[in-house]
Structure 1
């Protein structure tokens, strides 16, 4: 077997042309690898450097812009937060286009493709874009701000936590979190309980007591409650009177005024405090009830 292998090896070794061709091909391959690594390796390193520097600059610039907006409008932290995100994304898009240009990508064609893709995505995400448009209108027209108590479309009352581009984050008075799409808010009637034309606001609470309870005592309990709460204004004086005689209760109107900023928490807390004070004073909080009188058969026959 060895004798059969030696002649070809010797023949190949003696063929100078074959060895020369192989050596030339290997040299060309090595040169192409070196050339490719030199040309594109530098481009890759440059692209990485541009991405790092661009990311740092985008964060710095967007943060500065956000800080300027927050300084000018300290009551609108949501606007500053959204501006920061928008400027960061816009700057990073520019950085990515520059990086692609390093690799010979035609940026003009890329922008055209992005425009076409943006149109297609916009048609597919009409609901999302309507939320963005509504969010922009809310941020600029400011029907409410973070911290306000609002009612949307005659529904529940919400306490606003943050206004975003897509949704408004809020919570109900009993603390469950709520995410409200901006388009639902902007397309509805918005009642802002925290923003009034006057510095004072009035609220009414109706307390019902049993017909067997002492009315004067109940009135005194509620008057003492109003006098003890510092948020209740003395001028105009609280108006606490019997309002009506209901089917199951004597209804007492508890009408007081507070500063607009105290209106919502005072209304909630005085509703709870009023019930507790009446119960502690021996008054009964009634509920709807019906008395049924049974007539025996003999009585019906006699009649």
Structure 2
């Protein structure tokens, strides 16, 4: 009975001692996470009031939050009596396979962080730009430490690692204030070329979104198999690109119908030969 009492007493002592440490560590994690979130919102509010570029704001707030959380985790481990240097040594001795896995993970994270830093410095795009890269396209919502978030035209969210964007071609459709709308319009071979060009010019002139400088271009681009193809090039503001593209395409069909200009479709002449048998 005496031995059992000592065991119970020992268990109670260990539970009290380490139980308090575990509770304290959990409290540090919870409070630290709340403080990290408050710090992130505070920094974002300060940068928003100073009208800092949202691209830089997202990156800095993400960096501050992750740095704060790393400090909180180290503090919680210290409360448990775990020395971080010893903890790292234990992880290093856990095995070659685990070490290689952690190394590869860190390598990917570091490359994403470096890529995010380079994007902030060289600014190939910013928040609000419509870009294409890494096999996807969309409007940039935010640039964080390791990832960039894009929103597609149908309102889907795509999260792309920064390293993939930096290692791929980036097409920024919003980098310039103006864009050129390129259309190819086919007309029948019996149509009057001068008449067709005049109708196309009137369509562009009637659209107030088409810019006068640079001037629109309308020219015969190709004598195709079944049509004369006209090249129509008009400069517009980047925000008006798709509106002008769709509206002009529709107006071409309506005006060609009114003017009696045929829009041909591929045709094929079939010659049938009758074979005479003796």
Q: TM-score range by the shorter chain?
A: 0.7 to 0.9
Structure-2 residue corresponding to 1:205: 183
Give the distance between the partners of 1:234 and 1:178, measured in 2 at CA: 37
2:45 matches 1:63: no
TM-score by length of 1: 0.68
By how many angstroms is 1:98 displaced?
1.7
By how many angstroms is 1:83 displaced?
3.7
Structure-2 residue corresponding to 1:194: 174
Larger Rg: 1
Structure-1 residue corresponding to 2:69: 92
Answer whether contact 1:167 1:182 (CA < 8 A) is retained. yes
**SS of the counterpart of 2:128?**
coil
**Of the two structures, which has the highest relative contact order with CA contacts closer than 8 Å and spacing of 6 or more?**
2
Give the distance between the partners of 1:285 and 1:250, measured in 2 at CA: 9
2:125 matches 1:144: yes
By how many angstroms is 1:62 displaced?
2.2
Structure-2 residue corresponding to 1:159: 138
TM-score by length of 2: 0.73
**Cα-to-partner distance string for 1:91-114 (whole Å, 9 max, x where unaligned):** 223222222222322232124456
Two-structure CA RMSD over aligned residues (Å): 3.8
Greater alpha carbon shift after TM alignment, 208-217 vs 115-124 = 115-124
Structure-2 residue corresponding to 1:123: 104
Assess, with a 3 A threshold, how the Cα gap between structure 1 residues 224 and 87 changes in structure 2: closer, same or farther: same
Assess, with a 3 A threshold, how the Cα gap between structure 1 residues 74 and 296 changes in structure 2: closer, same or farther: farther
Q: How many residues align?
A: 269
By how many angstroms is 1:207 displaced?
0.8
Structure-1 residue corresponding to 2:204: 226
Assess, with a 3 A threshold, how the Cα gap between structure 1 residues 124 and 195 changes in structure 2: closer, same or farther: closer
Answer whether contact 1:242 1:252 (CA < 8 A) is retained. yes
Greater alpha carbon shift after TM alignment, 33-42 vs 206-215 = 33-42
For structure 1, the residue ranges without an aligned partner over 5 or more in a row are 1-21, 299-303
By how many angstroms is 1:209 displaced?
1.2
Assess, with a 3 A threshold, how the Cα gap between structure 1 residues 131 and 105 changes in structure 2: closer, same or farther: closer
Structure-1 residue corresponding to 2:245: 268
Answer whether contact 1:67 1:80 (CA < 8 A) is retained. no
Pairing of 1:30-69 with structure 2 (within 5 A): 31-69=9-47
2:88 matches 1:103: no
Structure-1 residue corresponding to 2:223: 245
Give the distance between the partners of 2:156 and 2:5, measured in 1 at CA: 72
By how many angstroms is 1:60 displaced?
1.1
**Cα-to-partner distance string for 1:183-239 (whole Å, 9 max, x where unaligned):** 44323343323223xx54444322111223454554344233212322112344433
Give the distance between the partners of 1:87 and 1:176, measured in 2 at CA: 27
Answer whether contact 1:278 1:284 (CA < 8 A) is retained. no
By how many angstroms is 1:115 displaced?
7.6
Structure-2 residue corresponding to 1:8: none
Give the distance between the partners of 1:98 and 1:111, measured in 2 at CA: 15
